[in-house]
Amino acid sequence: MSLNAVMSTATSGMMAAQTGLRVTSDNIANVNTKSYVRKTVSQSNLLSNGMGVGVSIDAIKRATDRFLQSASLNAGSESARAAVVASSLNSAQQLFGDPSGDTSFFSTLDDIYTAFSAAQDEPSSSLKRTQALTRVDDFLNESSRITSSLSKLGKDADTRIAADVGRVNDLLGQIDALNTDITRAKVAGADATGAENVQSGLVDELAKLMNVQVTPRTLGGVYVRSTEGLPLAGDGAARVTYQTSPTATGYLTVQVANGNVQATPLNISNGEIKGLLEIRNTELVNLSDQLGEFTSRAAEEINRAANAASSVPAATSLSGRDTGLDAQAAITGMTGKTTIALTDANGVIQRRIDIDFDSGAMTVNGAAGPSFSPADFVAKLNTAMGGQGSAAFSGGALSLAGVGGLGVAIADDPTTPSNKAGKGFSHYFGLNDIIRTNGYSPYETGLTPSDPNGFTSGSMTIRLTDVEGGRIRDVVVDAPVGGTMQDMLDALNSRGSGVGLYGQFSMNGKGQISFASNVTAPVNMSIVADGTERGVGGPSFSRLFGVGPAERSTRGEKFFVNPSMDQNPKLLPFAKLDLSQTVGGAAALAIGDGRGALAIAKSGDVTAAFSAAGDAGAVSMTVNRYASDFSGSVARKSATAASRKDAADSVSSEVDSQRQSEEGVNLDEELINLTTYQQAFNASARLIQATKDMFETLTGLLR
């Protein structure tokens, strides 16, 4: 081998050792740098005609493990998702308070029953009545506060999703731009690990926001794809958009680079954004819906007892709730018997109208009165009152009033009580309700499929989404003007222009409408917009029937104490009308009668039919039992979420530890490498010196 060849070989060794020293020093310097990945030198021997002629530096590589990286990204996504769900559910659980304590939301309902129980012992006590109303007001205020706070948590999640999506777009742009820098460096034979480390850190941050698939590019850099394989970065950065609506399910879309300009639904299964979508679209909505159902049924049972009783003396006027129906539709379907009594200040009946809805006949003071149909019920009732009272129906509400100071008291026949949608006459119309609402919950209209639907105009947009929250489609349904409720159901369930391909709307025996998915993969429904109108100025379809999570999840803040009773606690219905008393006979309402108050106090122990709400199915149980189950469910949700967070954090920590062990800098190893490269450099330098000495010796011989 010539001296030039020896010199070249030694020089290549020195340069290789110098490169190794530079890489090792860089590793040592970044031992505490977050997301820094240890660099290694890839080298091979140079050959010429089968002979070794030195060493070549092939590449400077990052000590990465694709499998550990993938596991770390997935674990990070799951940990971020679990963390945001646990945090939000913990905040939600705190709104309800400690279920075992005396200051929780559920204890305020117990306070109502306790207050009315105390009031029944002293039914004439103004203090006891006021205290009872205060307890009712406390319960309703707490329901409103929690509902409002849950709604605010949902809006906060909305804001965070929008911010996270903005950050996702920034990250995709930066990751894609770094691909160009990395490729340029690799083609030029330069060190691209610095850019690769930055890119790796960006990918780690992206994975915490949404789970992605990452694969290497041939010329350096990475491809980033969604779980469905949609290209997000690598050959141009995609743009993700959060499609939000105050009334409907929010979802993500993506417009890929160099692709179709039409945005495509983007489904993700992990990451902080997924957790926020779950909270916003599902968890908080479910809690609010179940809270609304609980408050509705508790109010219904209190009102059921109140409408079976009367104040002493009876109120001179009773104004009912807005049923959302016209007078004919409201009376149609009412069965059984009820009695309307006009009483004087002493509780003596001055006029008595017994109504038989089955036969369509009225009896006035024991004598045959006018017959009626649903269309002329109000007019015939006015006739039966004979000028001593009046009846009116306006804005969906029935009202009754006495004339000349007479009060109005109502009681159902004990043998065949009046009934529509499981409620008596007074209860159905809410004539003596203690608790009122601005809505229509519990949405039991009493309508049947054969009844006229009453909708005069408008259409509604229904959004269908899959279990991952991705939008399937928006469906616009026009109200079949002039048709029946069955026509309305048919329009909704049409496979061509309705939701029939994915689910079905149905009406139960109480006139309540619900939606159920009919495909293997469950489909969820929400209302984007509803311009339908029942009658002139009447409620929309979604409001009247409680269709869609937006309507159902806000009902908990719509309840309030009857203003008339709030202003005059003497109107509280603490007594019961004695139907055995005749007109002009003994008092049918007694001042010391507390049976009505006792019935209200025991209303929490009456079995009620709870509709499906949130993730709780339809059940029949007492209000008190439901309260116990509901409070336990809220606590379990929070505890389960916290447990999942701890488990996800443990997995993420373990995977990151393994990844760090593989990719991180080990000072002991680097010091060994430093010594090795120093010795290699010195050896190559000595070889060069020896070659120089030999060259000088040979040159001297030739002189």
Of 489, 512, 545, the residue at which a domain comes to its end is 545
How far apart, in Å, do the first and last CA atoms of the chain sit?
A: 23
How many domains does the chain fold into? 3
More confident residue, 537 or 544: 544
SS (H, E, C) 538-582: CCCHHHHHCCCHHHHCCHHHCEEECHHHHHCHHHCCCECCCCCCC
Q: Around Cβ 112, how many Cβ atoms within 10 Å?
A: 26
Examine the domain organization and report whether 83 and 197 are in the same domain: yes
Of 514, 545, 576, the residue at which a domain comes to its end is 545
Examine the domain organization and report whether 487 and 530 are in the same domain: yes
pLDDT tens-place string over residues 550-562? 999 999 999 999 9
Question: Which pLDDT belongs to residue 692?
Answer: 77
> Is 205 contained in some domain?
yes
Examine the domain organization and report whether 182 and 75 are in the same domain: yes
Q: How confident is the model at residue 1 (pLDDT cuts 50, 70, 90)?
A: low
Percent of the chain with pLDDT over 70: 99
More confident residue, 185 or 547: 547
Tokens 């104490």, located at residue: 561
Separation of alpha carbons 213 and 235, rounded Å = 15
Residue 652 is encoded by which pair of tokens? 């993420």
Examine the domain organization and report whether 517 and 480 are in the same domain: yes
The helix/strand/coil state of 226 is coil
In the predicted model, is pLDDT for residue 502 greater than 90? yes
Examine the domain organization and report whether 676 and 694 are in the same domain: yes
pLDDT tens-place string over residues 593-603? 999 999 999 99
> Is 15 contained in some domain?
yes
In the predicted model, is pLDDT for residue 287 greater than 90? yes
- What domain range is 74 assigned to? 68-88+158-283
More confident residue, 130 or 247: 130
The pTM for the full model equals 0.89
Separation of alpha carbons 368 and 214, rounded Å = 85
Q: Is 90 exposed, middle or buried (0-12, 13-18, 19+ CB in 10 A)?
A: middle
Percent of the chain with pLDDT over 90: 70
Separation of alpha carbons 584 and 187, rounded Å = 108
- C-beta of residue 536 within 8 angstroms of C-beta of residue 458: no
pLDDT tens-place string over residues 369-427? 999 999 999 999 999 999 999 999 999 999 999 999 999 999 999 999 999 999 999 99
Separation of alpha carbons 250 and 471, rounded Å = 8
Alpha-helical runs (H) found in 97-217 = 105-121, 126-187, 193-209
Q: How confident is the model at residue 23 (pLDDT cuts 50, 70, 90)?
A: confident
Question: Which pLDDT belongs to residue 34?
Answer: 77
Nearest-CA neighbor of 424 among 311, 290, 626, 577?
A: 577
Examine the domain organization and report whether 167 and 277 are in the same domain: yes
Of 545, 564, 589, the residue at which a domain comes to its end is 545
In the predicted model, is pLDDT for residue 696 greater than 80? no
What's the rounded mean pLDDT across residues 599-614?
A: 95
In the predicted model, is pLDDT for residue 577 greater than 70? yes
Residue 702's H or E segment, with its range, is helix 667-702
pLDDT tens-place string over residues 306-340? 999 999 999 999 999 999 999 999 999 999 999 99
Question: Which pLDDT belongs to residue 616?
Answer: 92
Cα–Cα distances in angstroms (integers) from residue 181 to residues 34, 37, 199, 267, 288, in the given order:
21, 18, 10, 30, 50
Nearest-CA neighbor of 396 among 430, 426, 366?
A: 430
- C-beta of residue 6 within 8 angstroms of C-beta of residue 691: yes
Enumerate residues 6+ apart whose C-beta is below 8 A from 99.
106, 631, 632, 634, 635
Question: Which pLDDT belongs to residue 203?
Answer: 92
Examine the domain organization and report whether 78 and 194 are in the same domain: yes
Question: Which pLDDT belongs to residue 64?
Answer: 75
Return mean pLDDT, the chain.
Answer: 91
> Is 13 contained in some domain?
yes
> Is 518 contained in some domain?
yes
> Is 612 contained in some domain?
no
Examine the domain organization and report whether 12 and 84 are in the same domain: no
> Is 169 contained in some domain?
yes
In the predicted model, is pLDDT for residue 192 greater than 60? yes
Examine the domain organization and report whether 53 and 183 are in the same domain: no
**SS3 of the chain: helix, strand, coil, percent, to 5:** 45, 20, 30
- C-beta of residue 258 within 8 angstroms of C-beta of residue 236: yes
Examine the domain organization and report whether 27 and 81 are in the same domain: no
- C-beta of residue 676 within 8 angstroms of C-beta of residue 684: no
> Is 173 contained in some domain?
yes
Give residue 547's identity as a one-letter amino acid code.
V
Examine the domain organization and report whether 191 and 221 are in the same domain: yes
Separation of alpha carbons 631 and 625, rounded Å = 10
Separation of alpha carbons 371 and 359, rounded Å = 8
In the predicted model, is pLDDT for residue 703 greater than 70? no
Lowest-pLDDT range of 27-41, 119-133, 259-273, 390-404: 27-41
Residue 85 is encoded by which pair of tokens? 């769900």
Examine the domain organization and report whether 221 and 268 are in the same domain: yes
> Is 679 contained in some domain?
yes
pLDDT tens-place string over residues 237-250? 999 999 998 888 89
SS (H, E, C) 584-625: CCCCCCCCCCCHHHHHHHCHHHCEEEECCECCECCEEEEHHH
